[in-house]
A = this chain, B = another copy of it.
């Protein structure tokens, strides 16, 4: 419809191009990307791909939320990734999925056929460089998550998760991070439990406790208000690292 705006419009529509490519884009590259790209939609609860399945694309979340989970034979589940809009899924150079990918809300992904995408990466260095940056960010997030799983109490885990969601949500909406934060929990109690390495009963109890103590205000089961972000961060037990340097 707006031909003159086409390229810019594509950037907004498709975060991978915005985040990984467009910052230093080039007409020939954009044209190649255009040819290997397609969209897929999933309903809430649908599985995008099972661990071990052939995966012939890489993708970026356009809207909605997806999770990566791992499962032990006896059914114990651990979430290992939470994908919000603009996050990247899939690994260049690997044929099969390493995790179950599930849509927890209605989900739209922008996919790129894997083989041509890999070829594009070889010929356009800044795509690999941008992808490296994003992967390093994910690795940092994973290590923060490891601290949570290994050493935090149930209450601290819940507070940490709420802080993480509030922060990412605020970033997505470009809200100022000061003052009251309001958002809807994008996860069920069970999904939160899988994120935190807890049972859903413990999640429910700790949420009730935080509510009772005034750390959060709950309206219904999903709508959360954080009256005091500082307070929540304290509950999360995160290292503020204002410590004494030697």
Contact = CB atoms under 8 A, between A and B. Distances in A.
Interface string A50-87: 11110000000000000010111110111011000000
A185 interface: no
A106 interface: no
Most chain B beta-carbon neighbours within 10 Å: one of A147, A149, A240, A245 = A147
B128 A81 contact: no
A246 to B, nearest CB: 7
Secondary structure of the A contact surface, majority rule: mixed
B147 A146 contact: no
A132 B144 CA distance: 20
Interface size of A as a range: 35 or more
Given A72-B237, A128-B125, A136-B91, A151 B51 contact: no
Interface in A99-150: 99, 121-122, 125, 128-129, 131-133, 135-136, 138-140, 142-147, 149-150
A133 B118 CA distance: 12
Contacts of A139: 135, 138-139, 142
Total copies of the chain: 2
A150 B237 contact: no
Given A132-B132, A150-B149, A71 B143 contact: no
A99 B142 contact: no
Contact of A98 (B131, B140, B145, B150): B140
A68 B143 contact: yes
B80 A143 contact: yes
A54 B241 CA distance: 14
Nearest to A238: B72
B143 A81 contact: yes
A220 interface: no
Given A50-B246, A70-B143, A70-B239, 8 more contacts: A52-B243, A68-B143, A70-B147, A77-B151, A78-B146, A93-B136, A98-B140, A145-B146
27 contacts: A51-B241, A52-B241, A70-B143, A70-B146, A72-B151, A72-B237, A72-B239, A73-B239, A73-B240, A73-B243, A76-B151, A78-B146, A78-B150, A80-B146, A93-B133, A93-B136, A98-B143, A122-B125, A125-B125, A128-B128, A128-B132, A132-B132, A142-B142, A142-B143, A142-B146, A146-B149, A149-B197
